[in-house]
Amino acid sequence: MIAKDYLYQHNEHFNLESGSALPGFQLKYTTLGKLNSEQSNVVWVCHALTGDSSFNNWWGDLFTEEGPFSHREYFIVCANVLGGCYGSTGPLSVNPQTSEPYYHDFPIITNHDIVKAFDFLRVHLGIKQVHTLIGASLGGQQVLTWAIYKPEIFEHIILIACNAKHSPWGIAINEAQRMAIAADSSWESKEPSAGLDGLKAARAMSMPTFRSFEAFESQSDTENQKLERYNAASYQRYQGEKLANRFNAFSYWVLTKTMDNHNVGREFDNIREALNSIQSKALVIGIDSDLLFPVAEQEFIYENIQNAQFEIIQSKYGHDAFLIEINKLKSIIQFFIKSKFVLQNE
């Protein structure tokens, strides 16, 4: 079975949490499988910071016949976020009010804005219930936000390596990356390539937060006499080039700010109250070596959702383990789904 790509066009004025607005927007989304007659088999995937709607490219093993969400049994949906650069409305999109790309004028986007757009798509698709909503990192922040925004929609949520409010540590890391982009002399220009050298530096800066000390040992040099051109240095340059070849500095700027302003307690008295409003059965997964989203952040989420299960992935790969340790992730999710199924039928 082949995944299919679509475009959803929202032609009405779209108010944003910042008080600004978009005159409309589009979302590129990808689906796999078929919706059953009871609409009880929807799995909605939220991607990470520089991801796209093609979930098969980065989490494909979760949706094979051997995975927890076989495409023969489930209808899987994933949409590219507002502010992104893979088909959804973002900074390089043309503003219909000016007939020019937004570039630096693209407004501040929050996770609440993103999931509100997703919810318009859900209604457009005629989906009344979602069996499982799953995401990691920025995508996990969106899962949490959406489960609070529309608590009656989701039967299960799976939150991986994310938080309820972005930390000062995470904000500082993102601000340093944006400073690298702003230091690029091309950043002020209104061109799709603006800030690309800065983006390369930003990505290199972020890599040590995505991986662990132990993971970087794979970049060790065996030549004792070497004084420069270390493997770790080459690896950083490679990662910067790799991202610059597929992303743009404008979307990176916008979406790191989205991560920074993440706070599910904004419309509540406090964050605990917001988490307590979740009605879904929740699986919260942390990664023991994660520097960017420490396990304590997932523990806090778990402790404040009424019906939750908590698991920790043991890995040397740091935050990126949610993309690398697929077999461990599959095993944890399969146990969660099966155990909840048994409980519902006892």
Task: For strands 130-136 and 42-46, give the pairing.
Answer: parallel
104 is catalytic: no
- Which of 53, 54, 88, 137 is catalytic? The answer is 137
What Å distances lie between residue 343 and 171, 202, 250, 281, 313, CA to CA?
40, 46, 46, 11, 24
Residue 310 exposed, middle or buried by CB count within 10 Å (0-12, 13-18, 19+):
middle
- Give me the DSSP letters along 261-275: T-BTTTTSSSHHHHH
- Which of 166, 290, 315, 320 is catalytic? The answer is 290
319 is catalytic: yes
Task: For strands 25-32 and 75-79, give the pairing.
Answer: antiparallel
DSSP letter at 325 equals -
Angle between helices 196-210 and 168-182 (to 10 degrees): 150
The CA radius of gyration of the chain, in Å to the nearest whole number, is: 20
Phi, psi of 297 (to 5 degrees): -70, -40
- Which of 71, 197, 319, 320 is catalytic? The answer is 319
For tokens 């920790």, the residue is 312
10 is catalytic: no
Q: Quick one: which H or E segment has residue 120?
A: helix 111-124
Distance in angstroms (rounded) separating the CA atoms of residues 332 and 301: 18
For residue 37, count other CB atoms closer than 10 A to its CB: 7
DSSP letter at 17 equals T
Structure tokens at 315: 């890995």
Distance in angstroms (rounded) separating the CA atoms of residues 226 and 199: 28
**Active-site residue list:** 137, 290, 319
